[in-house]
Chains A and B, each alone.
Chain A
Amino acid sequence: MSITSKTATYKLRYEPDDDGLRFQRLTYEGNFVGLEPVPDGILGDKMMRRRAKSGVLDSVSKDEVLRRQFTLDELNDLNNYLAWNIWDVLVMRATEGASGMIPRQEYEILAFMHEFYRWPEILRMTTDEVGAQGVMDLGATARREIGTKVNCVHDWCIGAVGFGMGRCGLLALEAIQPDDYVEESNEILKFMQRVLWGKRQDGYILNSQDRYRCRSLEPEILDQLVGELEDFERDEPKHDAFTRFNAAATLLAFLDHFDCRLGLGDTGPYPLPDGRVLIVRDLFTNEEQFHWSDVCDHEGVPHCYTATLAIDADAMGLAEIRVNDISTTFTRPKNYVPYITGGAVFVREKWNTPMGEVRRVALDDLGPELEKLQQATLKLYGKLARMPRRELITNGHWVYFVDMILPHLRLAGTYEKACTDYDLWEIDQRVSNYYYEITKRKFAHEVVPTRIFSGKGYLPFSEKADLRSSKYRWL
């Protein structure tokens, strides 16, 4: 690709009247049958928010977030918006089919349903321990740290996956009815709202509400990161060393998390004074709670590498950049890698290593780090290749079920209690039994891509639903 000078137009996307670009040709319908189909991106966000009955999708106040529960209208607005948001970020990813390695659709659907059943009491216990303000404070920690899993994708997963996909899967399995588990739904969504609001502190909870921006880092942290950038040209060895390292760390982060997005956490785009844009990327290459991460320990791979990427927006002709709600950056044009003209790499050895002990690795010294990543990747691959199917599904399910709320429980100091008093590392008998149901009639392979990731099947709570309701009848 030739590097010629162009003009970046991405800032136009932040004009109030701008509807953004379309990244895909598909459209969303959801519960709005007969209405105008909704596209992806900024225009989709506008349309979905216009259809809301309550103000929950507008910029909301701290007092509203601290309120004990949502109204039925607010629950339905969140349900509809999350269904569109899930479609927006996952409908194309969901075309990827069978892995050939990890039965991901099987572990995903089991984890979704398990989360909806089990998370509410664990999140309620955590809220009881630290208070509603304390939950918001958990989110706020992400403003001052790099290498933290309290990030877009984990925070989003609490509501979008634990509530949205879990409820959708159980409805599809006909294990629950639309008006069951209203109180539990409220518990999950309130926890998500508080964490996300605390992180963003602009009144919104999702990046899609803010034209796909997540500029959550405090200015003093950002200034430190920018001050550590090493600049380079495309044809310099440093460019190659940095981008190869970034790719290898991203790969291991995906693999350690069983081919899911929990290993990756982008924030940004942060505009730099020289016109470039900065993405701050956490790559979680060694999660100590996963027993298969022993190969990462053996190679000396840290909990997280943070890569900062400075992208020359003008040279690229950047027309739109999205940091979506699963912490992933997509651009138009798609290929931003040749236009990375500055970078830095930081190491956070453990999840709770103090920020003052996070160390930078000079780009000239990335060679040994790359070697560690490659060796750990090969060893982990060999380990996974020997795992029986049942074990792969169980382990993948643990990645979702535990890791999506692990960072919040760790910080709240309730992880141990969740393990000992709430059997976090046990599988509920209902979900154990579903293992045998999900392969019948291609349930996992059809429901996950065609209903859950397509945004269909997110049935609303009816007008008769009671905010106090749990599951009272098995008929």
Chain B
Amino acid sequence: MSSIVAEGYNAFETEQAPTGVVKYLRTPNDVLALIQSGRLKDYIILVRGGTTTFLAPVLSMGATGILTMSGAPESHLGILSREFQTPCVMTIGLTDSDSRYRPASTDDAHFEAIAQRLEGKRVRLDCGDDHVGRIYLEEIGA
């Protein structure tokens, strides 16, 4: 059993449907700590921006899946996730909330609400559609 918890722009079409526990990376030190832990593959990575530099080591070492709270397939992270074939859903919004990202006019509460809802939860990414990527909340035992 699973239910859609969020959706956003699908960076590229793929039949891959990765699952993992969401880990929110806030700082470059979070990124380096995750790489050094050797547990990168266990997680679906959640980040705020749609740029590549912040996630460079994660992309380089092979992430399972990426969720962003801003950006689009044309953003640098969208381009790189396609080249690495790492499923990536961008500018995600919670399905039970009307709050949506708008460039230059979105306050921190929007990002924190998404992080709070998803961090630590086990999810599955559906990236088969041309435009929309969907995030399913995997219930324990499913």
Chain A residues in the interface with B (C-beta under 8 A): 1-2, 89-90, 92-102, 104, 243-244, 246-248, 250-251, 254-255, 258-259, 261, 328, 330, 333-335, 337-338, 373-374, 377-378, 380-382, 384-385, 442, 445-446, 449-450
| Partner-contacting stretch, out of B42-50, B113-121, B134-142 | B42-50
In the A-B complex, the 8 residue pairs with the closest CB atoms: A96-B50, A97-B70, A96-B71, A247-B83, A96-B75, A385-B28, A101-B54, A335-B12
Q: List the A side residues contacting B59 at CB < 8 Å.
A: 247, 251
Q: How far is the CB of A368 from chain B (nearest CB, A)?
A: 16
Which chain A residue shows the least CB distance to B73? Answer: A334
Chain B, interface SS category = loop
Which chain A residue shows the least CB distance to B62? Answer: A244
Whether A99 contacts B53 by the Cβ 8 Å rule is: yes
Whether A96 contacts B70 by the Cβ 8 Å rule is: yes
Which chain B residue shows the least CB distance to A261? Answer: B76
Whether A98 contacts B49 by the Cβ 8 Å rule is: yes
Whether B50 contacts A101 by the Cβ 8 Å rule is: no
Whether B74 contacts A93 by the Cβ 8 Å rule is: yes
Which of A93, A250, A381 contacts B57 (CB under 8 A)? Answer: A381
With A247-B84, A254-B53 known, 20 other A-B pairs at CB within 8 A are A1-B13, A90-B74, A92-B75, A95-B101, A95-B103, A97-B51, A97-B101, A97-B103, A100-B47, A251-B80, A251-B84, A254-B52, A261-B76, A334-B73, A337-B12, A338-B85, A373-B60, A374-B60, A442-B104, A446-B104
B89 at the A interface (CB under 8 A): no
Given contacts A96-B70, A97-B70, A97-B71, contact A328 B79 (CB under 8 A): yes
Which chain B residue shows the least CB distance to A377? Answer: B60
Whether B130 contacts A334 by the Cβ 8 Å rule is: yes
Report B83-121 residues with CB < 8 Å from chain A CB. Answer: 83-85, 91, 101, 103-106
Interface residue total, chain B, C-beta cutoff 8 A? 48
Q: Give Cα distance in the complex from A338 to B13, angstroms.
A: 11
Q: Give Cα distance in the complex from A248 to B80, angstroms.
A: 9
Chain A, interface SS category = helix
Whether A259 contacts B103 by the Cβ 8 Å rule is: no
Q: Give Cα distance in the complex from A256 to B101, angstroms.
A: 29
Which of B12, B35, B49 contacts A97 (CB under 8 A)? Answer: B49
Which chain A residue shows the least CB distance to B35? Answer: A378
Q: Give Cα distance in the complex from A413 to B106, angstroms.
A: 47
Whether B15 contacts A1 by the Cβ 8 Å rule is: yes
Q: How far is the CB of A176 from chain B (nearest CB, A)?
A: 23
Whether A95 contacts B28 by the Cβ 8 Å rule is: no
B67 at the A interface (CB under 8 A): no
Whether B48 contacts A101 by the Cβ 8 Å rule is: no
Whether A255 contacts B51 by the Cβ 8 Å rule is: no
Q: List the A side residues contacting B105 at CB < 8 Å.
A: 446
Q: What are 29 A-B interface contacts by the 8 Å CB criterion?
A: A1-B13, A92-B75, A93-B72, A95-B75, A95-B101, A96-B51, A96-B77, A97-B49, A97-B106, A99-B54, A100-B26, A102-B54, A243-B85, A247-B59, A248-B60, A251-B60, A251-B80, A330-B74, A334-B12, A334-B13, A334-B130, A335-B12, A337-B82, A377-B56, A378-B57, A385-B29, A446-B105, A449-B103, A450-B103
Whether A378 contacts B60 by the Cβ 8 Å rule is: yes
Whether A1 contacts B14 by the Cβ 8 Å rule is: yes
Given contacts A92-B73, A333-B130, A381-B57, contact A99 B104 (CB under 8 A): no
Q: List the B side residues contacting A1 at CB < 8 Å.
A: 13-15
Which chain B residue shows the least CB distance to A240? Answer: B85
Which chain B residue shows the least CB distance to A380? Answer: B56
Q: List the B side residues contacting A258 at CB < 8 Å.
A: 53
B27 at the A interface (CB under 8 A): yes
Whether B15 contacts A2 by the Cβ 8 Å rule is: yes
Q: How far is the CB of B58 from chain A (nearest CB, A)?
A: 10
Q: How far is the CB of B62 from chain A (nearest CB, A)?
A: 9
Which of A96, A98, A250, A381 contacts B72 (CB under 8 A)? Answer: A96
Q: How far is the CB of A238 from chain B (nearest CB, A)?
A: 16
Q: List the A side residues contacting B79 at CB < 8 Å.
A: 250, 328
Q: Give Cα distance in the complex from A250 to B75, angstroms.
A: 14
Most chain B CB atoms below 10 A, which of A90, A96, A101, A445: A96
Which of A94, A101, A333 contacts B28 (CB under 8 A)? Answer: A101
Whether B83 contacts A259 by the Cβ 8 Å rule is: no
Most chain A CB atoms below 10 A, which of B11, B13, B35: B13
Q: How far is the CB of A118 from chain B (nearest CB, A)?
A: 26
Given contacts A95-B71, A442-B104, contact A259 B82 (CB under 8 A): no
Whether B75 contacts A259 by the Cβ 8 Å rule is: no
Q: List the B side residues contacting A97 at CB < 8 Å.
A: 48-51, 69-71, 101, 103, 106
Q: List the A side residues contacting B51 at CB < 8 Å.
A: 96-97, 99-102, 104, 259
Q: How far is the CB of A155 from chain B (nearest CB, A)?
A: 20
Q: How far is the CB of A369 from chain B (nearest CB, A)?
A: 14
Q: List the B side residues contacting A243 at CB < 8 Å.
A: 83, 85
Q: Give Cα distance in the complex from A248 to B76, angstroms.
A: 14
Q: List the A side residues contacting B14 at CB < 8 Å.
A: 1, 335
